[in-house]
Structure 1
Amino acid sequence: MSFKVLAVGISLFLAGCSGEQLSDEEKQLIGQFRLSELQPLPADPTNKYADQSGPAAFGATLFFEQRLSRDGNVACSTCHISDRQFQDDRPFGKGVGETKRRTMPLAGVAYSPWFFWDGRRDSLWAQALGPLEDQNEHAGTRTAYAQLIAREFKDRYENIFGPLPDLSAVPASAGPFGAEAERAAWMAMSDDQRAAVDLVFANMGKAIAAFERTLVHKPTRFDRFADALAAGRQPEKDAALSEDEILGLRLFVGKARCSTCHTGPRFTDDHFHNTGVPQADGKPLDLGRETAVAQVLADPFNCAGRFRDGDESACGELRFMVKEGPELKRAFKTPSLRGAASRPPYMHAGQFKSLVEVVEHYAAAPQSPDGHSELVRLKLSEREKTALVAFLKTLAQ
């Protein structure tokens, strides 16, 4: 091979890695996915403590506190592991028992208007309360949590939220969930006692949410590549993408239709979709958003409830949400793809073990176990499927 031919070959390879084959229109579209395009986190008018350092520090303590569970062995951090993108690599979350869904990562979670895979909570602080009482997660009770706060964290709580209520006549373990005796004890409490405990409980959620709002995505190789394109520079070294990675990127924003739902700097539209994912083995049928609507409306800690800070103008999402329709059946939230390549398995119950399986599923577009899948069959070659996986890995490096 002559030096001239070798030089041409190297030049073509570098062009493939630098993005020179991308059109101006593609470059502009790709620029919208840059992490640097992410707007500042909007305030949460339902939580006046959301962006204060004191509540965030207290929330971090509560996040890692194992005594916030029935058996004293489960904390939020048990499933949301800090060095694993605040998730646990399991198909089903495992606390006191085993849940029916996968633990979601927490980076950037505060941008979402709905929480959990089905959106059954409408604020980050209300979401933080759910696992504390879920019998397969923390499995504790409201009065037990309030008593723990009064016993172990009284000064820190009162420095933020003001005086704790008198809990001397409150049962040691009572709440609307849990054992029959605990539910009966909750109902035997006076309205004022229940309201006082609920206030402490809500404030715990607001502190945990303040901490979780500090968890952010980090720039990846894709961002360095896209930032270079946006600046009119040739991506080089750790900002360059391979030919396959660029092909995968072009497919992602084009033919493969991935960006229909995985859009914007967080690679998610924060909506709910039925994508025909198979039912999880050994688990009851999960209808997703369809059953979550009633749950979020019934939640005493939702935006319409008495524990919201601010006025009802903050509750537009709750007031105007779609409450019924076939599009809700077996619809689950679009997860962010940032970091996804390093946290298998995939989907709401870990149905797929690898990104290869995920791409195969989206290309085949099978019928949904229930309801109607939004997927459309794709004609992708094996190389194109491989390229899509290659691109997705740039979101985790």
Structure 2
Amino acid sequence: MVFFLIGVSLTLSATEREELKSYTKNNRFLVTLEIHQPVQQINTEIPAVLVIKDKDGKTVRPRKITISGGMESHGHGLSTKPSVDKFLGDGRWQVSGLEFSMRGPWQLTVQILDAQGWDYIRFDMSVGEPDEGDASSTFSKRDIKLLKTLTIASLPPSKDDTNPVLHNVLAATAGLQLFFDENLSKNHKVSCGTCHKPELSFTDGKELGEGIKPLSANVPTIIGAAHQRWFYSDGRRDSLWSQSITPIEAPEEMDLPRSDVLRYFFSVSEYRDTYRKLFGNLPNLTHLKRNATPMGSSEEKRLWKQMPVKSRRAYNQAFANIGRLLAAYIASIEISPTRFDRFVQSLQSKQKSKEVIYSNQEILGLKTFINSKNRCLSCHNGPTFSNKQFHNIGTRRPADLGRQAGAQAVLIDPFNCQGRYSGVSRDKCYNLKHLASFNATYYSAGGYKTPTLRNISSTAPYMHDGSLQD
């Protein structure tokens, strides 16, 4: 996997003095390995220092620290046994006896023992490789032209004809408040932000998500979500706003009946004022019953059907507009330029900047990624590194319908582009019309949407089922 290409690098080169820094496997320690001379020589002791702190950055004194290493491609281990036994203060430990016997890629494993047991971190290093020089010389004009299509500069603004407030600041402000409002859940403890945490690139870091109840899928990032064509991993929704309201009623996620969502929303003065400014008159809530929704239990459905048809349609429209407010906030969570984007920019301008020049390993990984023989770009292309299509690569445990079920769900969704509440002519629903022209069985069972590779260093675990931890 070449996950280190986008965002923060997971593979670091030690071809000049630098710090290799990461959390241990179990996130108990933050470990920094300082290499105190260029690692150009083999069979020569390399002075180094380990800095070990707890996950909060506080100094710790482990019971034991060991360093081992090897070359995976050759099956060779270190020719020496490094020792870590001299404490220098402030979490710093001197490393003695560290030597490399061959040039090429090495892995160093730091193991740490404390009262809780062992934990470890593995660092990748390049030994004996020459300085990169001008990296642009390793890419052809065709390569650079191709790389440009993957950068943020090639990303057009997001748009949605069914959401006139998508880029409205007032709508986004209200959407932000809604996004973190736990009163939109039945137990008043779950919000959109429960699963989509900003500090984890709007994921939750878990294998499978958890709302009011455990979920059956991994939580994807919502950074740049407004640029998607289909929503959810199986594409069961065709707009960001129709996706945004779905978790609110979902029994496993927030489980709040539609009528109670509306009753709460219009009880908050800030929400009422924003709604009136953006969408006009408030709906008449005279006929609104409690615990009523067309998507819930038989009793909730019965209560929903007891309300007049005209009222139900007005309530659905208001519910859709709440989704539009949430979508306005999510659309503001845009993809930010990364070191990859700056690197490609430097290739185009032929300017060498130490901040953005990739290591030899990263350049090799990037060239491998764009090589047509490897077909990485068949799925991971464009500025979002996703073709926005659905594929079955056999990760699900157990197998399920995936896109096959998602395609059917979006076609019957009352909030889809061709529905009463979209606000656009059915003729403008090109994606939905194209989808409807196929029989749902055309779509591969178990197929899921190609995820973005952006911010991937902070969105583990991976795959729609969270089956790959790192």
TM-score bin (small chain): 0.7 to 0.9
Q: Does 1:116 align with 2:232?
A: yes
Take 1:325 and 1:150, find their aligned partners in 2: how far apart are those partners? Answer: 42
Of Structure 1 and Structure 2, the greater helix share is in: 1
TM-score (norm 1): 0.82
The answer to whether the Cα contact below 8 Å between 2:211 and 2:252 also exists between their aligned partners in 1 is yes
Partner of 1:137: 253
Q: Write the mapping of 1:220-259 to structure 2, written as runs, cut at 5 A.
A: 220-234=338-352, 236-254=353-371, 255-259=373-377
Equivalent pairs counted in the alignment come to 341
Structure 1 residue 317 corresponds to structure 2 residue 434: no
Q: Which residue number in structure 2 is paired with residue 371 of structure 1? A: none
Counterparts of 2:273 and 2:141, CA distance in 1: 58
Equivalent position to 1:160, from 274, 278, 282: 278
Residue 308 in structure 1 maps to residue 428 in structure 2:
no
Contact 2:135 2:358 (C-alpha < 8 Å) held by counterparts: yes
After superposition, give the CA deviation of every residue in 1:288-315 in whole Å (9 maximum; x if it has no partner).
1001111111111000111112322320
Deviation by residue 1:223-262 (Cα, 9 ceiling, x = unmatched): 111111011223x211010111011101111143211100
- Alpha-carbon offset, residue 194 of structure 1: 1.1
Q: How far did residue 10 of structure 1 move?
A: 9.7
1:104 aligned residue: 220
- What are the equivalent positions in structure 2 for 1:172-183 lying under 5 Å apart? 172-183=290-301
- Any conservation in 1 of the 2:221–2:459 contact (CA below 8 Å)? no
In the alignment, which residue of structure 2 is the partner of 1:296?
410
Relative contact order: is structure 1 or structure 2 higher (C-alpha 8 Å, sep ≥ 6)?
1
Write the letter of the residue equivalent to 2:409. Q
Partner of 2:80: none
Task: Name the counterpart of 2:314.
Answer: 196
Partner of 1:73: 189
Write the distance in 2 (CA, Å) between the matches of 1:76 and 1:342. 19
Give the letter aligned to residue 129 of structure 1.
I
Is the Cα contact below 8 Å between 2:380 and 2:452 reproduced in 1?
Answer: yes
Contact preservation (8 Å) 1:49, 1:55? yes
**Equivalences for residues 1-397 of structure 1 within 5 A:** 12-15=130-133, 18-41=135-158, 43-152=159-268, 153-234=271-352, 236-254=353-371, 255-279=373-397, 285-321=399-435, 322-354=438-470
> Following the alignment from structure 1 to structure 2, what is the Cα–Cα distance between the partners of residues 92 and 54?
33
Give the distance between the partners of 2:173 and 2:273, measured in 1 at CA: 14
Instruction: Please state how far the C-alpha of 1:25 moved relative to its aligned partner.
Output: 2.2
Q: Point out where structure 1 has 5 or more consecutive residues left out of the alignment.
A: 355-397
- SS at structure 2 position matched to 1:237: coil
> % of aligned pairs identical?
34
Letter aligned with residue 433 of structure 2? R
Alpha-carbon distance in structure 1 between the residues aligned to 2:456 and 2:255: 29
- The TM-score with structure 2 as length reference comes to 0.69
8 Å Cα contact 2:408/2:440 also seen in 1: no
Query: Residues 160-197 of structure 1, C-alpha deviation per residue, up to 9 Å, x if partnerless?
Result: 21222221331122001233321211122221121121
1:80–1:88 CA contact under 8 A, matched in 2 = yes
Residue 51 of structure 1 aligns to a residue whose secondary structure is coil
Compared CA separation, residues 10 and 101, structure 1 to 2 (3 A): closer
Shift of residue 12 of structure 1? 4.0
Partner AA of 1:99 in structure 2: L
Gap regions ≥5 residues in structure 2: 1-39, 42-126
Which structure has more strand as a fraction of its residues? 2
Larger mean Cα displacement after TM superposition, 113-122 or 31-40: 31-40
Shift of the alpha carbon at 1:222?
1.1
CA distance in 1, matches of 2:220, 2:303: 33
Question: Using the alignment, how far apart are the partners of 2:129 and 2:316 within structure 1?
Answer: 66
**Residue identity opposite 1:13 in structure 2:** D
Report the RMSD for the aligned CA atoms in angstroms.
2.0
The 3-state SS of whatever aligns with 1:210 is: helix
Q: What secondary structure sits across from 2:278 in the alignment?
A: helix
Larger gyration radius, structure 1 or structure 2:
2
Give 1:325 deviation, angstroms.
4.2
Give secondary structure in 1 for the equivalent of 2:236: coil
**Distance (whole Å) between structure 2 residues aligned to residue 309 and residue 37 of structure 1:** 29
Q: Deviations over 1:198-237 (max 9, x none)?
A: 1110000011111111111111111111111011223x21
Deviation at 1:286, TM superposition (A): 2.1
